């Protein structure tokens, strides 16, 4: 009985605060009529238009396409390079200082050279997204491959497994939890790079939509665009978690045996 | 089982000669003993040299036009010239001057609200939907929203830096405070510490290591945001330096600025690590070594 009551209280508190914020916003918007404080109705209408209306194919889908392609490239390439570096010790010693330096170059500054190297194309935007989000995956894969229990590798060697078999059957599964953790970080960076590349050089996509509406003083649409970006980020994070739960169902962290290994 | 241990031994044996290489016992060829430290430095340098060679290779083979890819040597010279009292040094200084206050703002807000959220469960529960909703919104997307409110200038940049870098600090602080062994607090209560004393003497020192980690993450995010705002709004700093130089076609200076930024990010991170090591000797990260 007590648990029921506490859950009820929780939901009550949460809704109360959300309602309070919404009504405060609406009151401020109607009372002051500031250009940067739109009312809730137009924001909701703009959101619905972006999610289900005519703007879906014009603004949301191009962004989503570039985001997914760039992110997939980053995950695949990052895992391959990271696993290679983590498995071969000499390679790690050679490349680690270089990587330690490269990962501190903010992905943002790669945009200006990318614009004049590749032009304002979809390829440029995908490349920028991939470049920005590759480092978390790469470093995580490297770390994961390095921390593989050496006993497992020795057992595999004793049993005569070839190098590819060792990588695919021992190193990759052992590094997968880390790779997924890296991919989650990479996803948020990919989202940032997507928006940024569209703010600077694009003719469609969510970033462009936001920027254009800001210039036209359609503030409600700007807020709606930001909300859609948040929704996209949330949806992708949740689906990544679902994939992770499926792929890593054998892992201790997901089986609930040990929460410390993540 | 015994077979496995033997293989492991062999695997270790292979590395031993590198560490304690015999000093020229062989008559014919002299083997120079390389200490692990020198070996590490040499191998690390070889990685950088390989990257430079790859860069040259891309230039020479016409993968991209040579004007877009200036030679490494030119970039290095431009970086040195720019750092010695050039425009590059000034813009770096301008960026750091907005980076530091923005990060401080984020640290104050993040640490205080993180501690409050961890200590007052009701507050945490009731604000959770809002925090979980605000966190995934990429801060860059907020720039068009905030731009009309603040206008182009320092306050916009400070707000964006603080908004983006507050999250890692807040959540690291929260998990750090939550991770404190409740027995410590109970012991403190038993010894007659008041609530404020409990927080100052038990909660904060216990949570400091994770706060420091959050702060280190936030420092690089803050740098990214500072540069992003500069690129988008033209506020003085390294971001607008890169944009201006690109628009003027000074490709060498642009690459120089990019490589210098990487160095700055690296040093900021190294600085925070050093401070953590000196100031927080009880941190589990430092005790592990």
| B243/A contact by beta carbon, under 8 A | yes
Summary mean pLDDT of chain B: 81
- Segment A113-135 mean pLDDT: 87
- Between CA B55 and CA B57, with CA B56 as vertex, the angle to 5 degrees is 90
DSSP annotation of A107:
G
Using an 8 Å Cβ cutoff, are A131 and A72 in contact?
no
A154 with B8: Cβ contact below 8 A: yes
Helix-then-strand count for chain A, H and E: 13, 0
Which of the four pLDDT bands, split at 50, 70 and 90, describes residue A78? Answer: very high
Kindly list the residues from chain B whose CB atom is less than 8 angstroms away from the CB atom of residue A190: none
B254 with A36: Cβ contact below 8 A: no
Does the CA dihedral B143-B146-B149-B155 come out positive or negative?
A: negative
In this predicted structure, the answer to whether residue A58 has a pLDDT above a threshold of 50 is: yes
Residue A7, CA distances (Å) to A12, B64, B174 in order: 8, 61, 22
Kindly list the residues from chain A whose CB atom is less than 8 angstroms away from the CB atom of residue B143: 199
B90 CB burial (10 A radius; 0-12, 13-18, 19+): middle
B125 with A112: Cβ contact below 8 A: no
Token couple for B206: 């216990």
Q: Which of B7, B138, B232 to mutate against chain A (most A CBs within 10 Å)? A: B138
ipTM strictly over 0.85? no
Q: What pTM was estimated for this model as a whole?
A: 0.81
Kindly list the residues from chain A whose CB atom is less than 8 angstroms away from the CB atom of residue B8: 150-151, 154
B136 with A188: Cβ contact below 8 A: yes
Q: Which of B58, B63, B136 to mutate against chain A (most A CBs within 10 Å)? A: B136
- Segment A208-226 mean pLDDT: 84
Q: What is the DSSP string of B15-74?
A: HHHHHT--SS-SSSS------HHHHHHHHHHHHHHHHHHHHHHHHHTTSS-TTTS--HHH
| pLDDT the model gives residue A72 | 94
DSSP annotation of B153:
S
In 3D, which of A168, A180, A169 has the Cα closest to residue A244? A180
| Euclidean distance between the first and the last CA atom of chain B, given in angstroms as a whole number | 30
- Segment A70-86 mean pLDDT: 92
B148 with A104: Cβ contact below 8 A: no
| pLDDT the model gives residue A130 | 93
Token couple for B121: 């469960």
In this predicted structure, the answer to whether residue B20 has a pLDDT above a threshold of 90 is: no
A18 with B129: Cβ contact below 8 A: yes
| B187/A contact by beta carbon, under 8 A | no
Summary mean pLDDT of chain A: 83
* Whole-number Å distance between alpha carbons of B44 and B36: 12
Using an 8 Å Cβ cutoff, are A44 and A228 in contact?
no
CB nearest A108 (choices: B126, B127, B231): B231
B265 with A106: Cβ contact below 8 A: yes
| pLDDT the model gives residue B6 | 41
| Euclidean distance between the first and the last CA atom of chain A, given in angstroms as a whole number | 34
CB nearest B126 (choices: A14, A111, A222): A14
Kindly list the residues from chain B whose CB atom is less than 8 angstroms away from the CB atom of residue A155: 4
In this predicted structure, the answer to whether residue B76 has a pLDDT above a threshold of 80 is: yes
Residue A169, CA distances (Å) to A96, A153, A172 in order: 25, 10, 7
Q: What is the pLDDT of residues A157-192, one digit of tens each?
A: 888 888 888 888 888 888 888 899 899 889 988 998
Q: What is the pLDDT of residues B92-130, one digit of tens each?
A: 999 999 999 999 999 999 999 999 988 888 888 888 888
């Amino acid at each position: 009985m007590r648990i029921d009551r506490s859950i009820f209280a929780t939901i009550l508190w949460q809704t109360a605060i959300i309602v309070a914020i919404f009504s405060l916003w609406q009151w401020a918007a109607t009372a002051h009529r500031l250009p940067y404080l739109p009312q809730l109705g137009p924001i909701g209408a703009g959101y619905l238009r972006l999610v289900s209306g005519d703007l879906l194919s014009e603004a949301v889908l191009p962004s989503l396409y570039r985001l997914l392609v760039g992110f997939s490239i980053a995950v695949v390439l990052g895992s391959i390079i990271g696993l290679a570096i983590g498995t071969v010790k000499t390679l790690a010693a050679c490349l680690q200082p270089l990587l330690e330096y490269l990962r501190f170059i903010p992905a943002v500054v790669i945009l200006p050279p990318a614009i004049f190297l590749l032009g304002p194309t979809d390829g440029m935007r995908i490349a920028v997204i991939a470049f920005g989000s590759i480092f978390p995956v790469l470093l995580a894969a490297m770390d994961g491959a390095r921390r593989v229990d050496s006993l497992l590798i020795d057992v595999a060697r004793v049993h005569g497994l070839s190098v590819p078999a060792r990588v695919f059957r021992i190193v990759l599964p052992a590094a997968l939890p880390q790779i997924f953790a890296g991919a989650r970080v990479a996803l948020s960076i990919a989202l940032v790079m997507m928006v940024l590349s569209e703010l600077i050089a694009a003719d469609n996509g969510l970033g462009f939509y936001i920027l254009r509406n800001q210039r036209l003083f359609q503030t409600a649409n700007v807020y709606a665009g930001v909300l859609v970006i948040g929704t996209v980020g949330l949806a992708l994070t949740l689906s990544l978690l679902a994939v992770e739960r499926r792929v890593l169902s054998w892992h201790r962290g997901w089986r609930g045996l040990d929460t410390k290994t993540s | 089982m015994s077979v496995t241990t033997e293989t492991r031994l062999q695997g270790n044996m292979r590395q031993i000669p590198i560490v304690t290489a015999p000093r020229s016992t062989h008559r014919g060829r002299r083997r120079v003993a390389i200490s692990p430290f020198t070996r590490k430095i040499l191998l690390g340098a070889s990685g950088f040299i390989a990257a430079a060679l790859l860069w040259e290779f891309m230039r020479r083979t016409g993968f991209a036009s040579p004007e877009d890819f200036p030679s490494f040597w030119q970039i290095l010279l431009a970086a040195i010239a720019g750092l010695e009292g050039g425009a590059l040094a000034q813009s770096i200084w301008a960026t750091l001057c907005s980076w530091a206050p923005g990060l401080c703002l984020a640290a104050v807000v993040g640490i205080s609200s993180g501690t409050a959220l961890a200590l007052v469960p009701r507050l945490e529960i009731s604000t959770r939907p809002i925090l979980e909703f605000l966190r995934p919104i990429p801060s860059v997307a907020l720039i068009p929203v905030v731009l009309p409110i603040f206008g182009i200038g320092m306050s916009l940049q400070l707000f964006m830096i603080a908004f983006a870098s507050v999250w890692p600090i807040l959540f690291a602080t929260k998990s750090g405070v939550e991770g404190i062994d409740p027995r410590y607090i109970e012991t403190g209560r038993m010894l007659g510490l008041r609530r404020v004393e409990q927080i100052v003497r038990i909660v904060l020192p216990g949570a400091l290591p994770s706060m420091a980690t959050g702060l280190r993450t936030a420092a690089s995010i803050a740098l990214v945001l500072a540069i992003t705002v500069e690129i988008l709004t033209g506020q003085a700093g390294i971001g607008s330096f890169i944009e201006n130089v690109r628009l003027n076609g000074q490709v060498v200076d642009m690459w120089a600025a990019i490589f210098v930024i990487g160095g700055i990010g690296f040093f900021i991170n190294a600085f925070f690590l050093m401070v953590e090591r000196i100031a927080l000797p009880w941190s589990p990260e430092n005790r592990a070594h």
